[in-house]
Structure 1
Amino acid sequence: MATKNPYDLLGVSKSATDKEIRSAYRKLAKKLHPDVNPDDDKSGDRFKEVTAAYNLLSNEDLRRQYDSGAIDDQGQQRNPYAGAGGFGSRGGGPGYETGFGGFEGFGGRGRGGAGQDDMSDLFGSLFGMNTGPFAGGARGGMNRPSKGADVQYSVVLSLPESLTGGTRQLPSGTKVHFPEGVRDGQTLRVRGKGQPGLYGGQDGDALVKVSVREHRTLLRRGDDLHLQLPISLKEALSGATIRLDMPTGAVSFKVSPGSNTGKKMRLKGKGVKGKDKKRGNLIVELVITLTDAELTKSDDIISRLPDENGESLRKGLI
């Protein structure tokens, strides 16, 4: 059998530390693991080789014997009478077996090796699984159902969109429905649209965080909506009936004659539907805004207004 240098297989130097060896193996195992490449026999074979290499080099005793030439890359003694292994360490054969040839396991804990519990911890951290002893082949002991990882997304909505609800398509192609009145910063969970589960475990979920953009005239506070409503000078002086198509539904209300900027009106039950299914209120604040037609008649309007410069408006301002 051709020699396969365990250092070369892991891509580390002969002077590599235990931490460097472990780190190199983690990267390779995560890339080559059979769960990641279920139909790739070459990756499976490579996975077996690097695992056996890691098992040899992570065992202080075996690594020292390999470096000194007492054992070969398969963990077998080059000289039956040399080294610390002696006779009969595995069923009467010489030395240790690392699983390089037949990938029979990961060795024992004795003499500082990477025991089964260590390997379980390693693969648990790699694949997010709570595993038992990993022995007897690439899949032995790791067949417990495990839920797939969740995947996170973010969606930006306008305020009107957040009030009406709707559907968006994520980059993955998954469609997510956001409910009427979804809040800024709220995270929606779409079950089963994350990473695939392992060994029959449930698929992970898609977690969608919602961000709501600020609106120019509309503001949400709790379940109440606050609207700055422009009205013409004529509407302010004469009064008017206002009809609006709000995201939460159509509304109609009256502006009384002589209304001024800053006047507020509360429309009960015209806000956002809360968790208790009750709606908040719509608070309308009037803002007098001259129309283009009013501006063209400004000279005429001014001539009819009383001679007052507005000092009374500013009295006590500061």
Structure 2
Amino acid sequence: MEYKDYYKILGVTRKATDDEIKRAYRKLARKYHPDVSKEKDADTRFKEANEAYEVLKDPKKRAAYDQIDPSRPHAGQGFQQPPHWNSGAGFRRAGPADDASANFSDFFESMFGQGFGGMGGGPRATRRQAGVKGQDHVSRVEIDLEDAFSGGTRTIRLRAPTLDDRGRTVERERSLKVRIPKGARTGQRLRLSGQGTPGQHGGPAGDLYLEIALRPHPYFTVDGADLILELPVAPWEAALGTTVKAPTPAGAVDLRIPPNSNAGKRLRLKGRGMPGKTPGNLYVSLVITLPSTSEGEAGEKQRALYEQMAEEMAFNPRARLGV
């Protein structure tokens, strides 16, 4: 049986605080979760992180684990429990391997046993299993920009933990109704209480954290709370100025194009970006678009107009480049 260095697995020191341990675990859970990770050893690394966190998040388990000196020879293959391990600690085997630790290593089982309950007491202490809270679960979910902009309740499908007929934790596809807050952004997490891994022996279920990712939009680019739109305009619209229709997530609006607008000119629509305590802005970047030259007589007229413009409006648009 191999000794497990739980601190090394989570990438923290033995003096790490509870918050540091939690952050390290969540980082690994996001990286190696089988739903999203493409790493070859993702499943193994995910289980190792779960096992390490199961011990280090619990003050009693962590204190008992810290009694082991990792520098001693027993820290390698052939690890044996320290003498009188169970005396005072109270970690005992308490039933068949069907609880939350069923997928953990032999090292974990030898140290804490199934159920890992019954703290304190003596020979007459009760062997009743304590309820075990289920593991938290992290899933990435993609939503459309329109859903993030308007918010509301949406039904999503994802793979999430549940119990099979034999009481084992498995992942199955299921539908969940989720309330999307207005202005939801990529990276934001939504917590669904009690929707994580089911608890054991009457313990509460863990929580499900949905990590939002916005799907690419055909018109808008998201930059924090702001939105960016590239708006095509005709050469004469940019030169003479006019009012055109411009799309926004809330619907089309009238946008005034100032005269003599160059390509790339940015116009700001205040408060038309993503909703929030401080709404973002919508920045419209002008893209001057030429009409396609037609064939036949119509095409000849268009070319004649371009030639006339070249003669009467001749200028060097590259003068500032020194060429």
CA distance in structure 2 between the partners assigned to 1:126 and 1:178 by the alignment: 41
Of the candidates 86, 105, 110, which is equivalent to residue 115 of structure 1? 86
Q: What do residues 262-302 of structure 1 show as CA deviations (whole Å, max 9, x unaligned)?
A: 2221111211112x2x3222111111112347894530331
Does residue 1:312 correspond to 2:283, yes or no? Answer: no
Q: Which residue of 1 aligns with 2:10?
A: none
AA aligned to 1:115 is: N
Does residue 1:170 correspond to 2:158, yes or no? Answer: yes
CA distance in structure 2 between the partners assigned to 1:136 and 1:298 by the alignment: 100
- Cα distance change on mapping 1:252 and 1:128 into 2, 3 Å: farther
The structure whose Rg is larger is 1
Q: What do residues 27-63 of structure 1 show as CA deviations (whole Å, max 9, x unaligned)?
A: xxxxxxxxxxxxxxxxxxxxxxxxxxxxxxxxxxxxx
Deviation at 1:125, TM superposition (A): 6.0
TM-score by length of 1: 0.53
| SS state at 1:170 partner | strand
Does residue 1:290 correspond to 2:290, yes or no? Answer: yes
CA distance in structure 2 between the partners assigned to 1:228 and 1:127 by the alignment: 60
Query: Any conservation in 1 of the 2:246–2:254 contact (CA below 8 Å)?
Result: yes
| SS state at 2:268 partner | strand
**Count of matched residue pairs:** 210
Of the candidates 218, 228, 231, which is equivalent to residue 230 of structure 2? 228
Q: Which residue of 1 aligns with 2:134?
A: 148
Query: Any conservation in 2 of the 1:165–1:177 contact (CA below 8 Å)?
Result: yes
Deviation at 1:247, TM superposition (A): 1.5
CA distance in structure 2 between the partners assigned to 1:128 and 1:308 by the alignment: 89
Query: Any conservation in 2 of the 1:119–1:133 contact (CA below 8 Å)?
Result: no
CA distance in structure 2 between the partners assigned to 1:156 and 1:293 by the alignment: 41
Deviation at 1:216, TM superposition (A): 5.3
5+ long unaligned stretches in structure 2: 5-80, 94-107, 160-173
Q: Which residue of 1 aligns with 2:143?
A: 157
| SS state at 2:307 partner | helix
Deviation at 1:303, TM superposition (A): 2.5
Deviation at 1:135, TM superposition (A): 8.4
Query: Any conservation in 2 of the 1:269–1:279 contact (CA below 8 Å)?
Result: yes
Structure 1 segment 200-239 matched on structure 2, within 5 A: 200-215=202-217, 217-239=219-241
- Cα distance change on mapping 1:147 and 1:249 into 2, 3 Å: farther
Q: What do residues 207-258 of structure 1 show as CA deviations (whole Å, max 9, x unaligned)?
A: 1112224445422223222211111223223433222342244422211333
Deviation at 1:113, TM superposition (A): 5.7
Q: Which residue of 2 aligns with 1:243?
A: 245
Q: Which residue of 2 aligns with 1:88?
A: none
- Cα distance change on mapping 1:155 and 1:291 into 2, 3 Å: farther
Of the candidates 253, 259, 262, which is equivalent to residue 260 of structure 1? 262
The percent of aligned pairs where both chains have the same amino acid is 32
- Cα distance change on mapping 1:113 and 1:154 into 2, 3 Å: same
Q: Which residue of 2 aligns with 1:49?
A: none
AA aligned to 2:142 is: V
Does residue 1:302 correspond to 2:306, yes or no? Answer: yes
Query: Any conservation in 1 of the 2:192–2:208 contact (CA below 8 Å)?
Result: yes
CA distance in structure 2 between the partners assigned to 1:262 and 1:18 by the alignment: 63
CA RMSD of aligned residues (A): 3.9
AA aligned to 1:259 is: S
Q: What do residues 56-113 of structure 1 show as CA deviations (whole Å, max 9, x unaligned)?
A: xxxxxxxxxxxxxxxxxxxxxxxxxxxxxxxxxxxxxxxxxxxxxxxxxxxxx9x946
Structure 1 segment 23-102 matched on structure 2, within 5 A: none
Deviation at 1:164, TM superposition (A): 3.4
Query: Any conservation in 1 of the 2:225–2:275 contact (CA below 8 Å)?
Result: yes
- Cα distance change on mapping 1:169 and 1:135 into 2, 3 Å: farther
Query: Any conservation in 2 of the 1:132–1:141 contact (CA below 8 Å)?
Result: no
Query: Any conservation in 1 of the 2:91–2:117 contact (CA below 8 Å)?
Result: no
Q: What do residues 172-226 of structure 1 show as CA deviations (whole Å, max 9, x unaligned)?
A: 3223232222111112111111122234433211111122244454222232222
Q: Which residue of 1 aligns with 2:43?
A: none
AA aligned to 1:298 is: Q
